[in-house]
Structure 1
Amino acid sequence: MSMMVAVSHVGRLIFQFLPNVQPVTAILIILTLSMGMADGLIVAVLSILISNLTLGMGIWTVAQIVSYFIIILITGAVVRPIYQKLPEWTMIMYTAVTGLLYGFVISVIMTYLLGLESFWIYYSFGIPMDIMHALGNGAFYFILSPVLYPLIAKGLKLKKISKRGNENN
């Protein structure tokens, strides 16, 4: 899990020049599908906190954590039981849609600070950023899923072996 936090943090730093294009959401979805909601939530919170220490901490940090919390809950409760039966393009589309959901949740949470009358203005101005997030999510899932799923599976096997007392950590 610490490696996933590090990869998420570095991914946010590397792609900060592209607004809202970052591998974090795709990594969290892959992690949640592979290891479960608890692991996804832990990595999400740590990734956001550590990244925002570098990129800027603010009131949006709570909104980001809540947005990822909702995405991870949906992924773990709805998608995880069926994702192995789904074609790859469906998972790419789902990951892209989570970019739109993320932006919507952020806007809803920020409404408490800006006032209800500002919601639609705030949300509509963020739609281009949400579309960038969605496109980035789909692309990162397409690129990272063939790499991360096997690495996580290998890591889980090593973890199980080491719990039995085998010295092959």
Structure 2
Amino acid sequence: MNIYKITLLALLAALAIVGRVSFAFLPNVQPVTAVIIICGLILGPLSAALLAILTTFLSNMILGTGIWTLWQIISWIIIGLLSGLLGKIPKKIPVILLAVFGVFSGYFYGLIVSLTNYQITGQNFYVYYLAGLPFDTYHAIGNAIFILVMYPIIYHFLKKYAKERFELQR
């Protein structure tokens, strides 16, 4: 990993952290998942995993950390790895399909965090998960909107790096 890529990761982490803190007043609406997906597509799965760890750790220092932090990191790492695998497809993926992947990722993230946290409350899993489903829906819709808005902009700024990456794969 070169200095240029580390700098890009730091900028994307700053964008995700500021976005997460800025949207903290809206339940589960945050650009972190979208930024991780975009990072995975352009910079690769390892970069997305590093971004997931960095963003979760630093943003939770501001918003509050707890046992859920580990499961947030695991969820976002899996999403980053999956998006990195999507980035290995030689053709450029349409933005609308990325938005659909963002919706899927929102529900996946909620499922992983719910699987690990319901035991703390002592409730039945289905009751716990169904109670959180509206928040997962906010997350999923937010992901789609953030991807539709942010992907063209971030891709434009990282176009040189993205073109080199995609041309090398063909």
What TM-score do the two structures reach when normalised by structure 2?
0.84
Question: Which residue of structure 1 lines up, in the alignment, with residue 31 of structure 2?
Answer: 23
C-alpha RMSD of the superposition: 1.9
Q: Which residue among 83, 98, 106 is the counterpart of 1:99?
A: 106
- Distance 1:149-1:85 versus aligned 2 partners, 3 A rule: closer
Q: Which residue among 11, 16, 27 is the counterpart of 1:3?
A: 11
One-letter identity of the residue aligned with 1:109: T
Fraction of identical pairs, as percent: 38
Question: Which residue of structure 2 lines up, in the alignment, with residue 35 of structure 1?
Answer: 43
Deviation readout 1:99-126 (Å, 9 max, x if unpaired)? 01110111112245456x6211111111
5 Å-filtered alignment, 1:12-161, equals: 12-77=20-85, 79-82=86-89, 84-114=91-121, 118-154=124-160
Structure 2 runs not aligned, ≥5 long: 1-8, 164-170
CA distance in 1, matches of 2:48, 2:74: 13
- Distance 1:125-1:83 versus aligned 2 partners, 3 A rule: farther
Deviation readout 1:71-126 (Å, 9 max, x if unpaired)? 1122223x2233734332111111111101110111112245456x6211111111
One-letter identity of the residue aligned with 1:148: I
Cα contact 1:83–1:91 (8 A) shared by 2: no
Number of residues of Structure 1 aligned to a counterpart in Structure 2: 155
Question: Which residue of structure 2 lines up, in the alignment, with residue 161 of structure 1?
Answer: none
- Distance 1:60-1:80 versus aligned 2 partners, 3 A rule: same
Question: Which residue of structure 2 lines up, in the alignment, with residue 166 of structure 1?
Answer: none
CA distance in 1, matches of 2:21, 2:11: 15
Cα contact 1:5–1:43 (8 A) shared by 2: yes
CA distance in 1, matches of 2:92, 2:57: 34
Structure 1 runs not aligned, ≥5 long: 158-169
